[in-house]
Amino acid sequence: MELYKSTKSIISFIKKFKLYYHMETVTIPKREYEQLKQQAKIDLDILHQVVSSLKDIKEGRVRRVR
């Protein structure tokens, strides 16, 4: 797996990856839809944090904690 240089490049990769899958329409309750949407938002936030952490590691901005 290649180390991506920015969050934008990761998001771009994810969008391109999604194009390979056939989209289908499904019906779900509104509450479930809202929960899934919130989880996706949280997932993107975690992804941004991971990218930021990798940048810090790459640039040597880490310290050992015991």
Res. 29 pLDDT band, cuts 50 70 90: very high
Whether 2 maps to a domain, the answer reads no
Whether 5 maps to a domain, the answer reads no
Whether 53 maps to a domain, the answer reads yes
Q: How far is CA 39 from the centre of its chain?
A: 11
Q: pLDDT by residue (tens digit) across 31-49?
A: 999 999 899 888 888 988 9
> Per-residue DSSP letters for 3-19?
PPSSHHHHHHHHHHHHT
Domain count, the chain: 1
Residue ranges making up the domain that contains 42: 26-59
Task: Please report, for residues 17, 23, 26, 33, the alpha-carbon distance to residue 30 in angstroms, rounded to integers and kept in the order given.
Answer: 27, 19, 12, 5
Whether 64 maps to a domain, the answer reads no
pLDDT of residue 26: 85
- Residue 2 above 70 pLDDT? no
Phi, psi (rounded to 5 degrees) for 5: -85, -20
pTM of the prediction? 0.48
Whether 11 maps to a domain, the answer reads no
pLDDT of residue 1: 44
Whether 47 maps to a domain, the answer reads yes
Whether 52 maps to a domain, the answer reads yes
Whether 15 maps to a domain, the answer reads no
